Amino acid sequence: MATKEQVVITGASSGIGLAVADELEQQGLQVHRFSRRTGVDVTDPDTLTQAYNELREEPRFLVCSAGISEPGTFPDVPVMSWRRVMDTNLTGTYIAVREHTQRLIDAGKTGAVVLIGSPSGRRPSLDNLAYGVSKAAIVAMGIGLAKGLEPHGIKVHMLCPSHVDTPMLRLRGFPDLNHLALLQPQEVAREVARLLLTDTFTDGQPIYMSRMVAAKQT
Ligand SMILES: NC(=O)c1ccc[n+]([C@@H]2O[C@H](COP(=O)([O-])OP(=O)(O)OC[C@H]3O[C@@H](n4cnc5c(N)ncnc54)[C@H](OP(=O)(O)O)[C@@H]3O)[C@@H](O)[C@H]2O)c1
């Protein structure tokens, strides 16, 4: 019997990550759901290494959806809040990608990674500065990784959805959310599945996705 393709999803307990996990499971993959609720904290390399050590084989696919946003408007935001957001969104993504791709390279396997950015990275605002800056940095990281990992047969896709109807968005408490303009997590999940499971070209440039448009910015 053929073994199932394996995928690790960080931030799989809620929102986009949860929808991606369900979609990929439906499409026949074996899904490993990582989040603090399952004992994996992306800011702590040891918990990632331990979770990967428990898998029976190296998964080819990784989706980095773990992320946080904290309330507050600059300059009235404590440095610790800035650090937490950067540590989770940026360093946590780095830690997960590093763990995953090092294992693929060592095993001589090809694979693919999807990073979740945000249009906030193009226009960080003072009421969510750390978040926007972390997402801008992930885009830069994705471009570097895509080019650098291509010779190893590892693709890196950068998906930037806009306003997705998830607990994170609700917690931010936008007063004027236009519910009709919100993306559903399942729509983002289908796009992640397409990127991972079809032979889609990538140079790591962000793919922007909103209710009205899905366009690649060059
Ligand atoms: N919602 C939007 O409009 C939107 C738009 C563009 C991009 N995004 C991005 O999409 C990703 C998912 O966001 P979402 O809206 O789905 O938010 P969400 O519903 O709040 O989900 C966030 C997920 O990240 C996990 N997480 C947080 N800190 C973690 C850590 N240190 N280690 C491991 N897992 C951690 C959470 O699980 P635990 O609490 O169990 O750890 C949860 O599963 C984020 O990167 C976000 O920036 C969201």
Token pair of 19, please? 């929808």
**Residue 161: CB within 6 Å of ligand 1?**
yes
Q: Residue 53 pLDDT more than 80? A: yes
Indicate whether 216 belongs to any domain: no
Residue 37 φ/ψ region, left for φ over 0, alpha for ψ in the -120 to 50 degree band, beta for the rest:
alpha
Q: What pLDDT is attached to residue 212?
A: 62
Classify residue 29: in a domain, yes or no.
yes
Q: Is 217 inside a domain boundary?
A: no
132 Cβ inside 6 Å of ligand 1: no
* Residue 80 located in a structural domain: yes
Which is it for strands 61-64 and 6-10: parallel, antiparallel or unpaired? parallel
- 215 in any annotated domain: no
Asked if residue 83 is part of any domain, the answer here is yes
Task: Give distance in angstroms: CA of 160 to centre of ligand 1.
Answer: 13
Answer whether 37 contacts ligand 1 (Cβ < 6 A): yes
| Ligand 1 near 17 CB (within 6 A) | yes
pTM greater than the 0.75 cutoff: yes
User: What sign has the CA pseudo-torsion 85, 165, 60, 157?
Assistant: negative
Instruction: Give burial (CB, 10 Å; 0-12/13-18/19+) of 25.
Output: middle
124-164 pLDDT, tens digit each: 999 999 999 999 999 999 999 999 999 999 999 999 999 99
The predicted-structure confidence for 8-38, as pLDDT tens digits, reads as follows 999 999 999 999 999 999 999 999 999 999 9
Neighbours of 86 (CB within 10 A): 17
Ligand 1 site, residue 13, Cβ cutoff 6 A: yes
Q: Is the CB of 35 under 6 A from ligand 1?
A: yes
- C-alpha of 183 from chain center: 16
pLDDT at residue 215 is higher than 70: no
Which CATH number fits the domain that encloses residue 161? 3.40.50.720
Q: Tell how far the Cα of 131 is from the centroid of ligand 1, in angstroms.
A: 12
Asked whether residue 218 carries a pLDDT value surpassing 50, the answer given is no
Is 106 part of a structural domain of the chain?
A: yes
**What total number of domains does the chain contain?**
1
The answer to the question of residue 194 being in a domain is: yes
Question: Which residue in this structure is represented by tokens 């899905």?
Answer: 214
User: In the 3-class helix/strand/coil scheme, how is 62-103 assigned residue by residue?
Assistant: EEECCCCCCCCCCCCCCHHHHHHHHHHHHHHHHHHHHHHHHH
SS3 for 2-16 is CCCCEEEEECCCCHH
Are 131 and 88 in contact by the 8 Å Cβ rule? The answer is no
Distance from the alpha carbon of residue 22 to the mean position of ligand 1, in angstroms: 15
- Residue ID of nearest Cα to ligand 1 atom 39: 36
* Closest ligand 1 atom number to CA of residue 117: 7
Mark residue 103 as left, alpha or beta (left: phi above 0; alpha: psi -120 to 50; beta: remaining).
alpha
User: What 3-state DSSP class applies to 179?
Assistant: helix
Domain that holds residue 167: 6-209
Compute, in angstroms, the gap from residue 35 CA to the centroid of ligand 1.
9
